[in-house]
Chain A
């Protein structure tokens, strides 16, 4: 069964305290791995796509990396406005996307 898990479930950081979120997957086929940000009551907002092991993408305070079985979202010197739920999703071969349960990030001022 295709599965995507994320850890930790929730994370509280002080402003400026860097950390990493993990996404692990066991899937039958992988076309790409996606990171999204979701604010309460809103739709997911695209952040990154990674396609192959060793690939890295950066955007402001966020950096996503990919290995053969997991991906990390590194947050450097976070600010309160980075507080959100971060979702990882895997695109299987075809047009089927499997989402993880998300990591709820709170950044305290």
Chain B
């Protein structure tokens, strides 16, 4: 069964460093998303991406964040200068766009900023 994959599973970084979180969405899906979940808190929408551009973003997704689909399979989230409060689980999701509105989530990347 097709699934969304994410790498790495756990990333530890120093405050101020740049990190890139990687996702491989389900092949043939058209919509891609990034969410974050701070430990013990709710899942928060960051950004949606369609047709090689951002379609919507939340207030959380400020100038330190960027997304890219560098090739036909990967979807990345870059955090330019990490802060302590960026520590969270980051989930990627994809949605087909032609067969229902179900998002399929990846297993997540746990980001720890020291």
Identify the A interface with B (CB < 8 A): 31-32, 34, 36, 41-46, 49, 87, 89, 91, 94-102
| CB <8 Å contact, B91 and A44 | yes
| CB <8 Å contact, A89 and B102 | no
B104 interface residue, CB < 8 Å from A? yes
Query: Chain B residues with Cβ under 8 A from A45's Cβ?
Result: 105
Query: Chain B residues with Cβ under 8 A from A49's Cβ?
Result: 100-102
| CB <8 Å contact, B42 and A100 | yes
Task: Give the nearest-CB partner of A43 in chain B.
Answer: B105
B75 interface residue, CB < 8 Å from A? no
Interface size class of B (residues with CB under 8 A): 20 to 34
Query: Chain A residues with Cβ under 8 A from B101's Cβ?
Result: 31-32, 34, 49, 91
B108 interface residue, CB < 8 Å from A? yes
Query: Chain A residues with Cβ under 8 A from B82's Cβ?
Result: none
Of the candidates A34, A87, A102, the one whose C-beta lies within 8 Å of that of B102 is A34
Chain B 100-112 interface 0/1 with A at a Cβ cutoff of 8 Å (1 = within): 1111111110000
Task: Give the nearest-CB partner of A97 in chain B.
Answer: B45
| CB <8 Å contact, B105 and A101 | no
**Given contact pairs A34-B102, A43-B105, A46-B102, A95 touches B31 in the complex (Cβ within 8 A):** yes
| CB <8 Å contact, A99 and B108 | no
| CB <8 Å contact, A99 and B42 | yes
Task: Give the nearest-CB partner of A91 in chain B.
Answer: B101
| CB <8 Å contact, B107 and A98 | no
**Given contact pairs A34-B102, A94-B55, A89 touches B43 in the complex (Cβ within 8 A):** yes
Of the candidates A32, A42, A102, the one whose C-beta lies within 8 Å of that of B42 is A102
| CB <8 Å contact, B43 and A87 | yes
Interface residues of B in 55-111 (CB under 8 A from A): 55-56, 58, 89, 91, 93, 100-108
Query: Chain B residues with Cβ under 8 A from A32's Cβ?
Result: 101
Nearest 7 Cβ contacts at the A-B interface: A43-B105, A95-B48, A99-B43, A101-B42, A46-B102, A44-B105, A96-B56
